[in-house]
Chain A
Amino acid sequence: MQSTQTDTIIQIGHISKRYRSVVALDDISLEIPRGAIYGLIGPNGAGKTTLLRILAALIAPSSGHVWFEGKDVSHVPSLIQRKIGYMPDIFGIYPDITTEEYLQFYAGIHGISGRQRAHIVSDLLELVDLTAYRKTLVETLSRGMQQRLCLARALVHDPDLILLDEPAAGLDPRTRVELRELIHTLHTMGKTVVISSHVLLELAEMCTNIAVIQGGRLVLSGDIETLSQHFQTNRQIAMRLLEPDKILVTLELLRSLPDILSADVAEDEMIYTEFSGDDQALHHLLRTLIAHELPIISFAPRSIGGRLEEAFLRLTEGNSQP
């Protein structure tokens, strides 16, 4: 586990959750830095929702502890719930009430007085771009609008920590982008956001930190830059020579160089090389090839697949530790 920020809002210490014989979470330890957008990634049934529900003090872990700002969540659940905003993966809406009444109700049960309530509701509707729908019945809103409204509901009491369980599930691409922008806005407001998803790309674009959960176990965690470097995947270099009779010499040279995993020629006389080095090593390779006066007319390196996505797929195939 890596932590680059010393100000930690949530600490998770060896928590496990069992439902009879089913182990939903198994010895998970994490630290969530204050102000981070923390992504929980894992396939369906990995235990992300269970972990979020434990963080929200809705269920107690079978063993282990969760500390929110240094306080044990199991001992002060009501205090914790006042400081977090939780948006479940599947949320219901009350029929026959308007968007404004919906937010006013939640502001009310968060103890916000009547005078402040109207002001807060207006601000939130503006934040989630639903001001024009303030008198619209909640049940008639589109899925994306309901999702944004539910996010506004989670923010109604100005929480320090926002837990979002699969917020982009079932949304169209445009609404996903809007939601991502909204989460970025929250990040700039200094909020800590914990967001779960089974789509890595969705999280990789917006998260500062990521934890990968597989089968209830923590497979990997850390800040996104470190992980990206750690899981930089190989590159494939496609080369074409002006003189085909130099192909064999080129292949021999390539195979003798460091960071070259394989070098083969295709039927169209294109040379394909799998390269594991970094950008500096790639530059060095190109200079070496030129130094040997090989008649290269085309040199095209490309990453093989997404970096983190490849790593995630590899990690979640089994329970292998990085």
Chain B
Amino acid sequence: MTFISLLVKELRVCMRRERTMWVVIGYVLLMGLVGWFFISRSTLSLSYAGNGLSDTGVVLYTLLVQGQLFLMVFITPALTAATMNGEKEQQTYDMLLCSRLSSFSLVAAKLVAGLLNALLLIAAAIPLFSLVFFFGGISSIQFLRGMLVFIVTALTIGSFGLFCSTIFHRPGISLSVTYMVSMIWVFLPLISLSILNSTSDANSPSLLASSTLPGWLQFSGLVTSGAGQGSLVPQTQIMLMWNPIVALFNTYGSGLALAPYVIRNISFAPWLAYLLLCLLASVIFFLLSMFMAKPNPWGRLPLPRRKQPIPAPATV
């Protein structure tokens, strides 16, 4: 009940802010512009023969998921990275602590509220993805997989932002750290791999992909153009296992084709491995936030007491 009350309040306060409306409008407009720009350019060269239409659909989908991912990386930290220290800054934290709110309810309500806002953005952009189905090339299952990657990515960024908001006193600092880490998480593996690839033997392919992949990814040297399957050197695959861009492109067949991860004869598709890793990271950040959120977390957990309470002396 305490969880629901806090969640309702968080959503109420958030939804009544003018900023929320403008973020959703701006988000949908930006995504719409991406789609409109692509379609207006590609209709002239659109081929209705063979795989022409479905290839166009895949390229449009790739473009939209990229745009959505970048926007989410920019927006999600703002939804959670200033929640706990923001309460402290506006002098409402003590009043929350003097209530029946458990550490779990407090952190969970804050995280779910942030996540629901991120989901609102994802949901608002779903109609734009319907353009992809007009061209074809992406199945519903592949689309749902992609949405799952978005949700889990938002969860991971959100829980990390929440953790930062419990350890840093100033919202500005926790926001900056969350942005910085999110950027490093998303872009650093790709940049470092591109540097590695540019210095390694050009004949040893690291990733194999279809020509529908974004140009910048192909240009970086991470992937080789052309059809067919290829293999990754193990270190590279492990490095990319927790990268959202790679996971996202791996959700659809004509994206990145990577070998599955095999752990004790159980094979995980790379995007599935990414989901599991992110969920694990989210749980860790959530537990750490829970621990840091209340001034005396051990006192609220059913753990054995370190010392016996001292009885009160007799009153006069």
Contacts and interface: CB of A to CB of B under 8 A. Distances in A.
A173 interface: no
Interface in B73-106: 87, 90-92, 94-102
Interface in A50-99: 53, 56-60, 65, 67, 70-72, 74-78, 81-82, 84-86, 88, 90-97
B98 A92 contact: no
A110 interface: yes
A86 B95 contact: yes
A81 B270 CA distance: 48
Interface string B272-316: 000000000000000000000001100110000100011111011
B95 A88 contact: yes
Is chain B's binding surface mostly helix, strand, loop or mixed? loop
Contact of A109 (B16, B90, B100): B100
Nearest to B105: A109
A75 B98 contact: no
Contact of A86 (B91, B98, B295): B98
Interface residues of A, number: 50
A86 B8 CA distance: 23
Nearest to B109: A109
Contacts of B100: 78, 81-82, 109-111, 157
B13 interface: yes
Contacts of B2: 108-111
Interface residues of B, number: 36
Nearest to A64: B310
A109 B96 contact: yes
A179 B316 CA distance: 32
A7 B13 CA distance: 44
B12 A96 contact: yes
A231 interface: no
A8 interface: yes
B95 A65 contact: no
B6 A58 contact: no
Interface string B1-36: 110111011001100110000000000000000000
Contact of A97 (B9, B101, B305, B313): B9
Nearest to B89: A92
Contacts of B313: 11, 13
A101 interface: yes
B295 A59 contact: yes
Contacts of B97: 58, 81
B299 A74 contact: yes
B21 to A, nearest CB: 12
Given A81-B97, A96-B16, 18 more contacts: A11-B315, A72-B312, A77-B299, A78-B102, A86-B94, A86-B98, A91-B91, A92-B90, A92-B91, A93-B92, A94-B92, A96-B12, A96-B13, A108-B2, A109-B5, A109-B6, A109-B101, A111-B2
Chain A to chain B: the 3 pairs with minimum beta-carbon distance, closest first: A108-B5, A67-B312, A92-B91
Interface of A: 1, 3, 6-8, 11, 13, 31, 53, 56-60, 65, 67, 70-72, 74-78, 81-82, 84-86, 88, 90-97, 101, 104-111, 113, 153, 157
13 contacts: A11-B313, A53-B94, A56-B98, A60-B295, A65-B312, A74-B299, A81-B99, A91-B92, A92-B87, A104-B5, A107-B5, A110-B99, A113-B1
